[in-house]
Structure 1
Amino acid sequence: MARFDNHSVVVTGAASGIGEATARGIVAEGGNVVIADLQEERGRALAAELGVAAIFHKTNVCEEADIEAAVALAQKQFGQLTGMVNNAGIVGAIGSIMETSAEAYDHTMAILARGVFLGIKHAARAMAPHRRGSIVSLASTAGIVGGLGPHVYTMAKHGVVGLTKSAGSELAAYGIRVNAVAPGNTVTDMTSAVVTDDPHDHATTTKRIAETSPLGIAGMPEDIANGIMFLLSDEARYTTGHTLVMDAGQTSGGPPAAFFSVDAEVVLHAGQRTKTP
């Protein structure tokens, strides 16, 4: 039996990036997915590629009616909702807090915070009567420490971590688990647009992320999707209210990749560089 047999999952922002990798992974392991996204052409193409296990629903995560409709479609098409992935996101307002407009703030928070709130709300309503379900939201390392993202993005992602804890506390009584994943820098169109001004220049983005990674590698969408799918699955049945940080050790104070780029005779010992005997 595959890990997601008889599962019905809504994934917001599933037409590209981490959401797409998650949708593909769920279907590959026997599940059914509603691709809830505003990118209609890409979303429909992905649904067609994945076949009968996937369906596209044009979704603006800021609109409550759209989220409610995506959940209803999942249940009509695939049966009782078992999973919700609140993945849709943008970088949003960038720049000094002294120059950030209230309009840019509102737009960023609507997608990154309101969208997650609505996803948890309507998924929980569908899951509660059946006392089963798993909700996973996308936080970020910017939601763990300051200085790893723009101000409003950081504020919103800290909110996702907090809401994960509070909603997880309430919904445990209904058999619903609520968790989050906090990715570090990951090679997606959104990241590439910030790093290189070209959303399609993944090669340069991969190189630059790897250069600042304690493990010396860049995170790929599939890496983050693996964490999301773990939390969605019954393998994580004892886990709720938790934020899984997936950042190659960046927020744990791990040394940068360059620290390991030393002569083969030099090894790390007790935090110091020492020569081997």
Structure 2
Amino acid sequence: MANLLDGKVAIITGGASGIGQASVEAFVDHGAKVIIGDIQDELGESLAKKLGDSARYVHADVTNEDDVAGLVDAAVESYGKLDVMFNNAGAPSAPSPIVDVSTEYLDKALALFVRSVVLGHKYAARQFKKQATGGSIISTSSLAGLQGGWGDVGYSTAKAAVPSIARVATIELGKFGIRSNVIAPGIIVTPIFTRYAGLSEEDSGKFLERLEEKSKDEQPLGRTGVPNDIAGPAVFLASDLSSFISGVTIPVDGGSSSVTFNRFDAIFGEVAAEMEAGWVSARS
């Protein structure tokens, strides 16, 4: 089914790479115009150039309120309106156990994964109300926000807040035709897993291949996810096909949330140990 987003204008934060990049490309394929919000300028500019008039890159730190407001302004200035806000931005970090967690780390996690989502709702909803057109807000959570064992305390706590934001938004904004829904990805293998470690491109690829190989048998569907597995549901939630869906969190996880135990943290540690044991060629 083509052109599900024909005529729509969207903002996708974290749109320069990984899930965000796949979503930008899918939205454009379905007829949308997209503002790519990110801090990875080279990647963002390159993607916008590839997509031509259908996309524009805007440097935006989503923890900064002025930058989030600026994304909405850019959408209106470039394409005349806004129909969809996809709060997807994220960044890698070194996980911290509770007994060692710092307030600095907690504050950064909450700013990136919670404050940014609230700000995305705030400014998108203001524009939707001004237009009197309604709109769709999509936010990325994680299985770490729904179950234990998928992440550390900072990441898991922050991601657990995202569905609550969507529920509050559904109550407050529904009367204006504004919907808010959440996607909770499972294991989606992207370079975000290795970015904080400073690995070379070659070793990053090796790490991800090994992580995927060791993780796939733990998944009910027998494979790990890829960014397009998230882009598809995002297109659906942005489209009019989902016009009566709001306040919902959709796990997109190959069935992982249907089981009571997962070994992903252990597998990640095993692969990291293998890496340190000798097959790392160089660090960038």
* Fold similarity call, TM over 0.5: yes
The one-character-per-residue Cα deviations of 1:168-199 (angstroms, maximum 9, x if unpaired) are: 12111110010000000101111345899654
Alpha-carbon distance change, 72 to 200 in structure 1, aligned in 2, over 3 angstroms:
farther
- Residue 209 of structure 1 and its aligned partner are, at CA, apart by 2.8
Report the counterpart of residue 8 of structure 1 in structure 2. 9
In the alignment, structure 1 residue 246 sits paired with structure 2 residue 252: yes
Given candidates 233, 237, 260, the residue that maps to 1:227 is: 233
Task: State the shift of 1:91 in Å.
Answer: 3.9
Deviation at 1:29, TM superposition (A): 1.0
Q: After alignment, is 132-141 or 198-207 more displaced?
A: 198-207
Q: Which residue of 2 aligns with 1:180?
A: 182
8 Å Cα contact 1:81/1:126 also seen in 2: yes
Sort the Cα spacing of 1:195 and 1:203 in 2 relative to 1 into closer, same or farther, 3 A: farther
1:139 pairs with one of 138, 141, 151: 141
Change in Cα spacing, 1:256 to 1:156, as seen in structure 2 (3 Å) is closer
Q: Distance in 2 between matches of 1:205 and 1:54?
A: 33
Shift of 1:131: 3.3
Aligned-partner residue type, residue 50 of structure 2:
E
Amino acid paired to 1:5: D
**Residue 92 of structure 1 contacts residue 152 of structure 1 at CA under 8 Å; is this kept in 2?**
no
Task: Report the Cα distance in structure 2 between the residues aligned to 1:3 and 1:156, rounded to whole angstroms.
Answer: 31
Label 1:7 to 1:107 Cα distance change in 2 as closer, same or farther (>3 A).
Answer: same
Paired residue type of 1:241 = G
- Which range is displaced more, 94-103 or 134-143? 94-103
Gaps of 5+ in 2: 264-284
Does structure 2 retain, via aligned residues, the 8 Å contact 1:10–1:84?
Answer: yes
Alpha carbons of structure 1 residues 117 and 255: separation in structure 2 relative to 1, 3 Å? closer
Structure 1 alignment gaps of length 5 or more: 258-277
Give the drift of 1:90. 2.2
Structure 1 residue identity aligned to 2:147: V
* Equivalences, count: 257
- Residue 98 of structure 1 aligns to a residue whose secondary structure is helix
Could you tell me which amino acid in structure 2 is paired with residue 88 of structure 1? A
Q: Deviation digits for residues 131-177 of structure 1, max 9, x if unmatched?
A: 31000000000111122111111001110011111111211111001
SS of residue matched to 2:50: helix
Structure number with larger C-alpha Rg: 1
Structure 2 residue aligned with 1:82: 83
Q: 1:156 to 1:60 in 2, by over 3 A?
A: same
Match status 1:214 vs 2:220: yes
Q: In structure 2, what is the Cα distance between the partners aligned to 1:39 and 1:171? A: 32
Paired position in structure 1 for 2:281:
none
When residues 127 and 82 of structure 1 are mapped into structure 2, their CA distance, relative to the original with a 3 A threshold, is same
Is 2:46 the counterpart of 1:45? yes
C-alpha distance 255-154 of structure 1, shift in aligned 2 (>3 A): closer
Q: Distance in 2 between matches of 1:109 and 1:210?
A: 30
Q: How does 1:22-171 map to 2 (within 5 A)?
A: 22-92=23-93, 94-129=95-130, 130-171=132-173
**What RMSD over aligned residues (CA atoms) do the two structures have, in Å?**
2.0
* 8 Å Cα contact 1:93-1:153 kept in structure 2: no
Q: What code does the residue aligned with 1:41 have?
A: E
- Return the structure number with greater relative CO, CA threshold 8 A, min gap 6: 2
- CA gap of 1:121–1:256, structure 2 versus 1, over 3 A, is closer
Q: Which stretch has the larger CA shift, 51-60 or 164-173?
A: 164-173
Counterpart residue type for residue 53 of structure 2: V
Structure 1 residue 102: deviation in Å?
0.7
CA distance in 1, matches of 2:204, 2:91: 13
Aligned residue number for residue 267 of structure 1: none
Identical counterparts, % of pairs: 36
Please give the secondary structure, in 1, of the residue aligned with 2:163: helix
Distance verdict in 2 for CA 1:213–1:192, change over 3 Å: farther
